Amino acid sequence: MAANPKRVEHQVTDKGVVPVYATGTVEQPWDDYTETDHRVWATLFERQNALLVGRACDEFLANQARMGMSADRIPKFSELNAALAETTGWEIVGVEGLLPELTFFEHLANRRFPVTWWIRKPEELDYLSEPDLFHDLFGHVPLLMEPVFADYMQAYGRGGVKAHAIGPDALTNLTRLYWYTVEFGLIRQADGLRIYGAGIVSSKGESIHSLESAAPNRIGFDLERVMRTQYRIDTYQKTYFVIDGFEQLMAATAPDFTPIYARLADQPAVPAGEVLPGDRVLQRGSGEGWASGGDV
Ligand code: PHE
Ligand code: FE
């Protein structure tokens, strides 16, 4: 945590008083985790790992194995940071919860990934409306050890700082890109379709649904198409976008987005479940079980 030496205030939480730093980061109060907290971690960790063999992409599984997370106990950020420092130079910083957009982008632009320090309750194993430690650590951190993906995340943060200065419509476009890649992305591997999005790998139901259900669309990644597309925050996604590799993602997002934002400003948003004429459709969803309203 060398980047955040300045302690500015303290925050009272149900785990006690934790220091809050100027960048919105907190020290992981590791000693205060209860037996229940460690048990929730173990349950989720074992359940997802069993499910993700053959479902998560090779890069996710390999990096998770080598970064030293295990079911035994909630990982210490300091230990994961040692592994990250040796590979891609990313750093985990603890946070209380969601950060203001610009603060979040600035962390990513500096290769710092904010991780919520608290973990969900035993009765919340299957669904939680805000990110917790399990989602952030288990879902996001393994791919930060993958060099190309690690660079993508930093480039995204820099792009976020830029979009924030351009305006709210640009931010909406950029947020959709994060949603459909970092959170809910699928990737085509030599031996089949796999998951890389953190929102999927940290969810039992969506790990199965995203790959195996007939309901959702699965469409080849196209930058501007993704940036126009609304998404779901309260149900499984109606559409997943599929990349062929992290290099493709990196190359597609390398150009300056400024003219793209200008172009997209004149175009209507695409509803989450819609299939468009130019789409590379891998699977057209049956739409079974789709809620009618509620795209954001
Ligand atoms: N190339 C983008 C821009 O100019 C930045 C970016 C890179 C955004 C990677 C997202 C992902 O704004
Ligand atoms: Fe997330």
Report the run of H or E that residue 10 belongs to, with start and end: strand 7-13
Residue 5 has pLDDT above 60, yes or no: no
DSSP E strands in 22-127: the ranges are 25-26, 91-95, 112-116
- Tokens describing residue 143: 């791919």
The pLDDT assigned to 13 comes to 61
Rg for the chain (alpha carbons), in Å?
Answer: 19
Q: Does ligand 1 have an atom closer than 6 angstroms to the CB of 114?
A: no
The pLDDT assigned to 18 comes to 60
State how far the Cα of 3 lies from the Cα of 91, in Å rounded to an integer. Answer: 9
Q: Which of 158, 162, 156, 161 is nearest to 180 (CA)?
A: 156
Percent of the chain with pLDDT over 90: 88
Angle between helices 147-166 and 168-178 (to 10 degrees): 160
Q: Does ligand 1 have an atom closer than 6 angstroms to the CB of 254?
A: yes
Handedness of CA 262, 268, 269, 270 (dihedral sign): negative
State how far the Cα of 285 lies from the Cα of 238, in Å rounded to an integer. Answer: 8
- CA angle (36 as vertex; 31, 40 as ends), nearest 5: 105
More confident residue, 98 or 181: 181
Residue 8 has pLDDT above 60, yes or no: no
The pLDDT assigned to 7 comes to 37
Residue 183 among the catalytic residues? yes
Index of the ligand 1 atom closest to the CA of residue 255: 1
Alpha carbon of residue 240 to chain centroid: 14
- CA angle (157 as vertex; 151, 159 as ends), nearest 5: 100
C-alpha neighbours within 13 Å on the C-beta side of residue 189: 16
Ligand closest to 138 (CA) is 2
**20 pLDDT band (50/70/90 cuts)?**
low
State how far the Cα of 233 lies from the Cα of 224, in Å rounded to an integer. Answer: 21
| Best probe residue, ligand 1, of 105, 156, 241 (max atoms within 8 Å of C-beta) | 156
CATH architecture assignment, domain 7-283 = Orthogonal Bundle (1.10)
Number of H helices, E strands in the chain: 12, 10
**Which residue, chain included where needed, has tokens 């907290």?**
37
Cβ proximity of 290 and 215 under 8 Å: yes
CA 133 to ligand 2 center in whole angstroms: 10
State how far the Cα of 182 lies from the Cα of 201, in Å rounded to an integer. Answer: 11
Q: Does ligand 1 have an atom closer than 6 angstroms to the CB of 155?
A: yes
Relative to beta strand 192-195, strand 186-189 is antiparallel
Residue 21 has pLDDT above 80, yes or no: no
**Which residue, chain included where needed, has tokens 């973990």?**
119
- Tokens describing residue 238: 């109606």
The pLDDT assigned to 110 comes to 97
Cβ proximity of 198 and 182 under 8 Å: yes
Residue 88 has pLDDT above 60, yes or no: yes
Instruction: Tell me the mean pLDDT in the region 267-278.
Output: 97
Instruction: Tell me the mean pLDDT in the region 12-35.
Output: 77
Instruction: Tell me the mean pLDDT in the region 37-45.
Output: 98
**Which residues 6+ apart lie within 8 Å of 152 measured at CB?**
181, 246, 249, 250, 253
Residue 264 CB neighbours (<10 A): 19
Closest residue CA from atom 11 of ligand 1: 156
The pLDDT assigned to 1 comes to 32
* φ, ψ (nearest 5 deg) of residue 216: -85, 155
Q: Mean pLDDT over all residues of the chain?
A: 93
